[in-house]
Amino acid sequence: MNPLRPAILAAAGSPRMKRMLTGIPVTANIVRRFVAGETRDELIPVVRGLLGSGRMISVDFLGENTTDRAQADATLAEYLSLINDLAVLDDGRSGAAARIEVSVKLSALGQALPDDGPATATENLRILCAKAGQAGVWVTVDAEDHTTTDATLATVHAVRAEFPWLGAVLQAYLYRTEADCRELSGAELRIRLCKGAYREPRAVAFQRASEVTDSYLRCLDTLMRGAGYPMVASHDPVLITAAQQLAVETGRGTDRFEQQMLYGVRDTEQLRLAAAGTAMRVYVPYGDQWYGYLTRRLAERPANLAFFLRALAGDS
Ligand code: FDA
């Protein structure tokens, strides 16, 4: 893990930094590396390209920490339109997996609303899943900071009763996640395992990169030996290789797990895995609320930050 990560994530939280970064024209080029566009019209050609290259997709409409009801309703409406637009791109070639998925943050669906946040998010997620189910599109709920984990898993559990294909994300940097994996791996659940991208305190999360990787390996082992459908979300070669080896060892076919990566990260490796027959899904964000997402990507990798600073200095 990038040693500067906590400092970058802390600085990114300042409103002044946000005003500065979003106000400068060069930011647009950096954004384009990781974000497919600000509108659905810009998103769709990107999605077509990815599907045409043999990859599957999960589209995220960017936005988080909604604190007003109208915004949560607008996000839900955008997701419903998005599903309409995406469903027509599916050529019906899917095997066991839906080639098209949407990913959603419950905080964008109203989880943080002051009065009835979790209930609102649960209801909105139900509406989204009903629409997605009709369209043959999957839904996975993103994991946000650790204060939301219990509420998010409770919502997923409640909505899964009606929509068993609903996926959840677990973050290997949290101490609790090994136990969550053990508890959830017995059922036929779709679980996306990632390292975790938020700034978390030592009280709840591993801080050292090696500890996070070791935790991921233990969680991966549990999920790959379990009854569910693991979604291995990482660009880390150690973890990608471990997943491939575990699949061979446990006799898990390529239709019973996925590798997943972010749009704009390790594109050549994504294509290599897809060409080798691995189910490869790309997480594709779009929308104008890209600030939080972008700063987490910059914080993950010093090279991204250096690229950004060089561009700011007019050097690239
Ligand atoms: P790591 O960060 O160690 O990177 C390994 C290698 O991958 C690097 O050496 C580099 O080559 C490359 N790489 C990684 N990140 C890069 C970047 N930003 N730019 C360029 N190269 C990069 N997190 C979360 O908290 N909640 C969530 O819901 C999700 N959802 C999610 C979905 C999917 C499909 C993915 C792939 C990731 C997430 N994440 C997430 C993010 C995740 O937690 C994590 O922060 C990143 O994936 C980076 O961790 P890696 O496992 O890739 O390893």
Check whether 313 has a pLDDT greater than 50.
yes
Looking at the structure, do residues 307 and 273 belong to the same domain, yes or no? no
Looking at the structure, do residues 108 and 233 belong to the same domain, yes or no? yes
Looking at the structure, do residues 115 and 145 belong to the same domain, yes or no? yes
122: phi then psi, degrees, rounded to nearest 5: -65, -45
Per-residue DSSP letter, 66: -
- Nearest atom in ligand 1 to the alpha carbon of residue 298 is 18
Looking at the structure, do residues 299 and 152 belong to the same domain, yes or no? no
Structural domain that includes position 92: 40-287
Percent of the chain with pLDDT strictly greater than 70: 91
Looking at the structure, do residues 245 and 308 belong to the same domain, yes or no? no
Rounded to the nearest integer, the mean pLDDT of the chain is 91
Residue 175 exposure: Cα atoms within 13 Å on the Cβ side: 8
CATH at 152: 3.20.20.220
Give the pLDDT confidence of 27-79 residue by residue, as tens digits.
677 788 899 998 999 999 999 999 999 999 999 999 878 889 999 999 999 99
pLDDT at 63: 83
Cβ(284) to ligand 1 under 6 A?
Answer: no
- What is the whole-number distance in angstroms between the Cα of residue 284 and the centre of ligand 1? 13
Q: Evaluate whether 71 touches 60 at the Cβ level (below 8 Å).
A: no
Looking at the structure, do residues 30 and 168 belong to the same domain, yes or no? no
Domain count of the chain?
2
pLDDT at 281: 98
Confidence of residue 92 (pLDDT cuts 50, 70, 90): low
Cα(63)–Cα(182) distance, integer angstroms:
31
Confidence of residue 315 (pLDDT cuts 50, 70, 90): very low
pLDDT at 210: 97
Quote the tokens at residue 302.
């010093």
Check whether 136 has a pLDDT greater than 90.
yes
Give the pLDDT confidence of 195-216 residue by residue, as tens digits.
999 989 999 999 999 999 999 9
Q: Evaluate whether 122 touches 159 at the Cβ level (below 8 Å).
A: yes
Looking at the structure, do residues 265 and 125 belong to the same domain, yes or no? yes
Looking at the structure, do residues 230 and 163 belong to the same domain, yes or no? yes
Specify whether the backbone of 38 is left (phi greater than 0), alpha (psi in -120 to 50) or beta: alpha
pLDDT at 53: 96
6: phi then psi, degrees, rounded to nearest 5: -60, -40
Percent of the chain with pLDDT strictly greater than 90: 73
Q: Out of 160, 192, 281, 297, pick the active-site residue.
A: 192
**Considering just the CA atoms, what is the radius of gyration of the chain in Å?**
19
Please choose from 235, 259, 281, 284 the residue to mutate so as to test ligand 1's pocket, defined by most ligand atoms within 8 A of CB: 235
Confidence of residue 316 (pLDDT cuts 50, 70, 90): very low
Active site residue 40: no
Q: Work out the average pLDDT over 13-24.
A: 71
158: Cβ–Cβ under 8 A, 6 or more apart, which residues?
Answer: 122
pLDDT at 15: 76
pLDDT at 94: 56
221: Cβ–Cβ under 8 A, 6 or more apart, which residues?
Answer: 246
Q: Evaluate whether 200 touches 174 at the Cβ level (below 8 Å).
A: yes
pLDDT at 93: 56
- What is the whole-number distance in angstroms between the Cα of residue 235 and the centre of ligand 1? 6
Q: Quick one: which of 156, 97, 96, 169 has its CA closest to 128?
A: 156
Looking at the structure, do residues 129 and 209 belong to the same domain, yes or no? yes
What is the pTM (predicted TM-score) of this model? Answer: 0.93
Cβ(169) to ligand 1 under 6 A?
Answer: yes
Q: Work out the average pLDDT over 211-229.
A: 98
Looking at the structure, do residues 307 and 181 belong to the same domain, yes or no? no
Higher confidence at residue 314 or residue 304? 304
pLDDT at 314: 57
Looking at the structure, do residues 150 and 103 belong to the same domain, yes or no? yes
Cβ(264) to ligand 1 under 6 A?
Answer: no
Confidence of residue 238 (pLDDT cuts 50, 70, 90): very high
Confidence of residue 312 (pLDDT cuts 50, 70, 90): low
Give the pLDDT confidence of 120-132 residue by residue, as tens digits.
999 999 999 999 9
CA distances from 73 to 5, 106, 132, 133, 137 (A): 33, 12, 17, 20, 20
Residue 252 exposure: Cα atoms within 13 Å on the Cβ side: 22
Q: Please spell the DSSP secondary structure of 116-164, one letter per residue.
A: THHHHHHHHHHHHHHHHHHHT-EEEEPP--GGGHHHHHHHHHHHHTT-T
Looking at the structure, do residues 13 and 104 belong to the same domain, yes or no? no
Residue listed under structure tokens 């561009």:
311
- What is the whole-number distance in angstroms between the Cα of residue 181 and the centre of ligand 1? 19
Confidence of residue 5 (pLDDT cuts 50, 70, 90): confident
Going by alpha carbons, the residue nearest to atom 33 of ligand 1 is 233
